């Protein structure tokens, strides 16, 4: 589907472009016969950011996770202005509007139900937060980048290897900043673990371990839930909710989270947490834009214990247990190990001396890379500088390619060999056919 980018205008709700307002005000200034009092905040004084210098943002599909991104990562930032939300669910649109309007003390947040109208008309928006369910992530990201928007998209960034490639191609073609929501790559504990590996303090690395979700199966459900009467379209646009996924009859359980564990909508227990932990392992190894070349089938329901081997010989192992927190990683070398997961006060290490300069490791990382802690903050900084964020489109694609390859090895019940340069399986036509899925019109990318 192609998107027509219309002339610059306000969207639903009558929101006037802040930049357009300032330009018009400046042009009319000479006609004023009396002095005009301008608030210091409009001039960027007293710690404020002038409206013309703010990053104008919108959102697509903002539910629970997206509301956390919005409330903690966007609305508190002085150099951003959130102006519009697009969601196929009326209750979600209205909830986000209330949240934003309450924060800004006005009624300016515009609402849209159609992503095509939203992207085509809101040419004032610089960047979008995409936090739909999994099936929409890649398609919405590509459509937004075609429309000239930078993109922060929640994980997992793709449903297939082909979708991941499409996101990489769009970011490159349209010169857009893309950040996938693997936020642990911007948290101090995980950064320290990565730095211990990078600096060689663990010796020669031989194994990295990646936490996968300890629920559900790699063999997802393909059965339809029973049909229920569809709600009015203004309340929920069911066809748009499905988006590029295959058609299914409406059932309210899907909308309430019942899409998890469904083949058409999910990336299995491997992708649920592996979209985080595989990316963490890839980046720590300096292989953010590559993927394992071997995937060893394991005869269980979840891929627990699967060995994935990189071209340099380092093995990445998927594990359901081994941490006392979620989304854990563990890096093992000839001189020691480090492990970290959500909720850890500090990483666990083979010897305490590895953490003696914990704060310095964090500060040195920020000085070396120019990145601040905070995943959304890293994205916003890159929107300004046009540098690549820590979890760019390549990091998303190759970590998800590993997820998809692991899933395919489980589904076909055999070992897989993968070429990360060509993005194809070696001598396996059946596996290569599974690199993509049909996408419903008009949501093809």
Handedness of CA 384, 198, 205, 193 (dihedral sign): negative
**Cβ–Cβ under 8 Å, residues 326 and 211:** yes
Give the residue-averaged pLDDT of 30-45.
44
**Cβ–Cβ under 8 Å, residues 219 and 213:** no
pLDDT for 426 equals 98
The CATH 3.30.360.10 domain(s) of the chain lie at: 184-218+266-433
pLDDT for 347 equals 98
- Which phi and psi (to 5°) does residue 309 adopt? -115, 130
pLDDT tens readout for residues 259-276? 999 999 999 999 999 999
From first CA to last CA, the distance across the chain in angstroms is 6
pLDDT for 37 equals 46
**Cβ–Cβ under 8 Å, residues 85 and 97:** yes
What is the spatial distance between Cα 415 and Cα 304, in angstroms, rounded to a whole number? Answer: 14
68: CB partners within 8 A, 6+ apart: none
- 264 is written with which tokens? 């058409």
pLDDT for 373 equals 97
Whole-number percent of the chain with pLDDT over 90: 88
Instruction: Considering the domain delimited by 184-218+266-433, tell me its CATH architecture.
Output: 2-Layer Sandwich (3.30)
Banded model confidence at residue 26, pLDDT cuts 50, 70, 90: very low
**Cβ–Cβ under 8 Å, residues 400 and 158:** yes
What is the spatial distance between Cα 354 and Cα 337, in angstroms, rounded to a whole number? Answer: 9
Q: Is the peptide bond before 208 cis (omega within 30 degrees of 0)?
A: no
**CATH for the stretch 50-183:** 3.40.50.720
- 56 is written with which tokens? 């104008």
Q: Is the pLDDT of residue 185 over 90?
A: yes
pLDDT for 369 equals 97
Q: Is the pLDDT of residue 31 over 60?
A: no
pLDDT for 59 equals 98
Which element (helix H / strand E) includes 94? helix 90-104
Give the residue-averaged pLDDT of 392-403.
98
Give the residue-averaged pLDDT of 123-149.
98
What is the spatial distance between Cα 196 and Cα 216, in angstroms, rounded to a whole number? Answer: 33
pLDDT for 282 equals 98
Banded model confidence at residue 44, pLDDT cuts 50, 70, 90: low
The CATH 3.40.50.720 domain(s) of the chain lie at: 50-183
Give the residue-averaged pLDDT of 120-128.
98
45: CB partners within 8 A, 6+ apart: none
Q: Is the peptide bond before 442 cis (omega within 30 degrees of 0)?
A: yes
pLDDT for 49 equals 78
- 227 is written with which tokens? 């049909």
What is the spatial distance between Cα 425 and Cα 411, in angstroms, rounded to a whole number? Answer: 14
Q: Is the pLDDT of residue 46 over 70?
A: no
Q: Supply the pTM of this predicted model.
A: 0.89
Give the residue-averaged pLDDT of 174-190.
98
* DSSP bridge pairs for 211: 319
- Among 6-10, 196-200, 283-287, 398-402, which stretch is predicted with the lowest mean pLDDT? 6-10
In this structure, the number of other CB atoms found within 10 A of the CB of residue 107 comes to 13
292: CB partners within 8 A, 6+ apart: 308, 309, 310, 316, 402, 405, 418, 420
**Cβ–Cβ under 8 Å, residues 337 and 347:** no
Banded model confidence at residue 401, pLDDT cuts 50, 70, 90: very high
The three-point CA angle 150-129-289 to 5° equals 60
Q: What is the mean pLDDT of the chain?
A: 91
- 81 is written with which tokens? 């202005």
Give the residue-averaged pLDDT of 408-423.
98
pLDDT tens readout for residues 72-118? 999 999 999 999 999 999 999 999 999 999 999 999 999 999 999 99
Q: Is the pLDDT of residue 184 over 50?
A: yes
pLDDT tens readout for residues 305-355? 999 999 999 999 999 999 999 999 999 999 999 999 999 999 999 999 999
Q: Is the pLDDT of residue 10 over 50?
A: no
pLDDT for 27 equals 41
Banded model confidence at residue 47, pLDDT cuts 50, 70, 90: low
Give the residue-averaged pLDDT of 289-301.
98
**Cβ–Cβ under 8 Å, residues 138 and 397:** no
Nearest to 123 by CA among 234, 10, 38, 207: 10
pLDDT tens readout for residues 416-435? 999 999 999 999 999 999 99
Banded model confidence at residue 50, pLDDT cuts 50, 70, 90: confident
Distance of CA 347 to the CA centre of its chain: 24
pLDDT for 43 equals 45
Using DSSP's 3-state secondary structure scheme, residue 300 falls into: coil
Whole-number percent of the chain with pLDDT over 70: 89
Q: Is the pLDDT of residue 181 over 60?
A: yes
**Cβ–Cβ under 8 Å, residues 333 and 204:** yes
pLDDT for 13 equals 40
């Amino acid at each position: 589907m192609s998107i027509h980018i219309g002339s610059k205008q306000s969207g639903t709700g009558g929101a006037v472009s802040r930049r357009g307002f300032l330009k018009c005000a400046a042009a009319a200034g000479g006609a004023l016969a009396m002095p005009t009092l301008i608030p210091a905040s409009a001039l960027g004084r007293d710690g404020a950011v002038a409206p013309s210098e703010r990053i104008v943002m919108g959102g697509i599909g903002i539910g629970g996770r997206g509301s956390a991104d919005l409330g903690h990562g966007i609305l508190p930032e002085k150099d951003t202005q959130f102006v519009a939300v697009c969601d196929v669910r009326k209750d979600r649109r209205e909830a986000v509007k209330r949240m934003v309007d309450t924060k800004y003390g006005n009624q300016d947040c515009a609402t849209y139900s159609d992503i095509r109208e939203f992207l085509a008309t809101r040419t004032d928006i610089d960047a979008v937060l995409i936090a739909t369910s999994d099936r929409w992530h890649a398609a919405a990201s590509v459509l937004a980048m075609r429309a000239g928007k930078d993109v922060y998209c929640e994980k997992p960034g793709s449903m297939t290897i082909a979708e991941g490639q499409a996101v990489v191609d769009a970011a490159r073609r349209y010169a857009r900043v893309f950040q996938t929501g693997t936020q642990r790559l911007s948290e101090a504990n995980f950064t320290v673990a990565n730095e211990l590996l990078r600096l060689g303090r663990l010796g020669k690395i031989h194994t990295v371990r990646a936490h996968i979700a300890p629920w559900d199966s790699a063999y997802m459900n393909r059965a339809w839930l029973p049909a229920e009467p569809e709600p009015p379209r203004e309340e929920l646009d069911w066809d748009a909710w499905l988006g590029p996924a295959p058609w299914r009859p409406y059932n309210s359980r899907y909308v309430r989270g019942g899409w998890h564990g469904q083949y058409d909508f999910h990336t299995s227990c491997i992708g649920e947490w592996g979209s985080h932990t595989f990316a963490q392992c890839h980046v720590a190894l300096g292989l953010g834009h590559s993927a394992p070349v071997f995937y060893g089938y394991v005869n269980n329901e979840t891929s627990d214990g699967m060995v994935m081997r990189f071209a340099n010989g380092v093995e990445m192992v998927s594990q359901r247990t081994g941490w006392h927190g979620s989304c854990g990683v563990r890096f093992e070398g000839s001189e020691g190990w480090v492990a970290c997961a959500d909720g850890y006060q500090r990483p666990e290490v083979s010897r305490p001396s590895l953490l003696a300069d914990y704060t310095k490791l964090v500060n040195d990382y920020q000085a070396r890379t120019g990145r601040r802690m905070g995943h959304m903050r890293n994205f916003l900084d890159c929107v300004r500088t046009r540098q690549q964020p820590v979890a760019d489109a390549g990091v998303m694609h190759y970590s998800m390619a590993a997820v998809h390859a692991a899933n395919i090895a489980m589904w076909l019940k055999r070992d897989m060999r993968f070429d990360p340069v060509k993005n194809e399986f070696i001598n396996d036509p059946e596996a290569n056919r599974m690199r993509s899925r049909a996408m419903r019109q008009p949501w093809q990318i």
